[in-house]
Every structure is written in C-alpha cells, then in structure tokens.
Amino acid sequence: MRHILSILLENEAGALSRVVGLFSARAYNIDSLTVSTTEDPTLSRMTIVTHGSDEVIEQITKQLNKLIEVVKVIDLNESDHIEREMMLIKVRATGKDREEMKRMADIFRGRIIDVTEKTYTIELTGTSEKLNAFIEAIDRSVILETVRTGASGIGRGERILKI
C-alpha cells in the first residue's frame, strides 16, 4: 500500500544521504522524495512517498526514527492529510493544439508560465493523481518534457509535526 511519510530532521550535511542510504540498504522503495528547510533553519522537512506492507512500513518508520538526525517521523496515512505535488510540463502548442492545450490547462487549473511560438510551459499543482490525470488527458505526442517535484504532505487541522 502507498504511504506518505513526513520526516522532521536536523538540517545537517549528510542527513539526507543517511535517509536515502537506509532505504537502499534495506531494500525499501522510494516513490518520491522532497526535502527543504523549514521556518527554523536548523530543521529540514522531508516527505517520502513509499509503498509496502504494514510490516514494512512499520520497520521503515522505526529505522528512520533510529537515525540520530531524525527528530520525528509520522505516517500521514494514519489520519486526514493534504498532499500536493507540482509539475512543470512543456508541450508542443501549434495549430489546433494551441487552443486545445490552453483549454486543458484551464480545466485542470494549471497556469501557462512560458510561451513560445511552438510551445507552452504549464505549471500544475495538485495531488499526484491529478497530475497523472492531466498527462493522461492530453495527447502524449505533444509532451516535450515533464518535471515533477514529488508529493509534499501535511496533516489536516490541528495535527502538527513540530519539535
């Protein structure tokens, strides 16, 4: 099953490689990973999307917690949460495709952020499924390039991951 893990860790050199190294050493999966510093510059916040049985997810959380630099780990799946991913997608936009592409971007609440005679670059934010749906919805052959950030997640309401 797909799980989305939120990790608060010390913003120190090597901390990221410890997390990534743990996943490869123990043969766990990383579907996506995002990381950046928080409002407190000594801390980084990481979101990892992974999949595995309940036992594997339990081990992953325990092993992450064991890393000295990891402050806290939560499995966002355990309660309501919001997740967002951003995608930049460059598409061929010529002839009749040009109008169609603009319309699709609008339907998906995307924004065209760069325009040339032959291309659009569209910024699209949403759940990973929404981004997948956009890719499915347009003609594959017009896609020139995609860049996705991977999902970032946060708990709903009062649920807070903080020291």
Partner 1 sequence: MQISGAEILVRSLQEEGVEFVFGYPGGAVLEIYDAIFRQQQFKHVLVRHEQAAVHAADAYSRSSNKVGVALVTSGPGATNAVTGIATAYMDSIPMVVISGQVSTPAIGMDAFQEVDMVGITRPCVKHNFLVKDINELAATIKKAFYIAASGRPGPVVVDIPKDVTQRLAEFHYPESVSIRSYVPVTRGHPGQIKKAVNLLAEAKRPYIYVGGGAVQGNASAEVTELVKMLGVPCTNTLMGLGAYPGQDQQFLGMLGMHGTYEANMAMQYCDVLIAVGARFDDRVISVPSHFLSQPKKIVHIDVDPSSIAKRVKVDVPIVGDVKHVLRDMIDLLKQTGQQVPQQHLANWWKQIEEWRSYNSLLYTPSTEFIKPQYVVQKLYEITGGDAIITSDVGQHQMWAAQYYPFKRPKQWLNSGGLGTMGFGLPAAIGAQLANPDAQVACITGEGSIQMNIQELSTAKQYHTPVKVIALNNRYLGMVRQWQEFFYGTRYSESYMDALPDFVKIAEAYGHVGIKVENPADVEPVLREAFSPALKERLVFLDFRTDQSENVFPMIQNGKGLDQMDLPPHMRDLQIAPFENNRDYGNMC
Determine the longest span between alpha carbons in the chain, in angstroms.
57
Q: Which of 37/65 has CB closer to partner 1?
A: 65
From CA 99, how far away is CA 106, in angstroms rounded? 11
Question: Using CA atoms, how far apart are residues 145 and 156, in angstroms rounded to an integer?
Answer: 33
d(CA 133, CA 130): 5
Quick check: 62 binds partner 1 (CB under 8 A)?
A: yes
Contact pick of 27, 39, 41, 66 for partner 1 (by CB under 8 A): 66
Shortest distance, CB of residue 43 to partner 1, whole angstroms?
9
Candidate ranges 56-64, 75-83, 88-96, 134-142; the one touching partner 1 (CB under 8 A):
56-64
Listing DSSP states for 72-107 in one string gives EEEEGGGS-EEEEEEEEEEEE--THHHHHHHHHHHH
Q: Determine, following the binding rule CB under 8 A, whether residue 52 of this chain makes contact with partner 1.
A: no
- Residues near partner 1 (CB under 8 A): 9-10, 13-14, 17-18, 21, 25, 55, 58-59, 62-63, 65-66, 68-71, 163
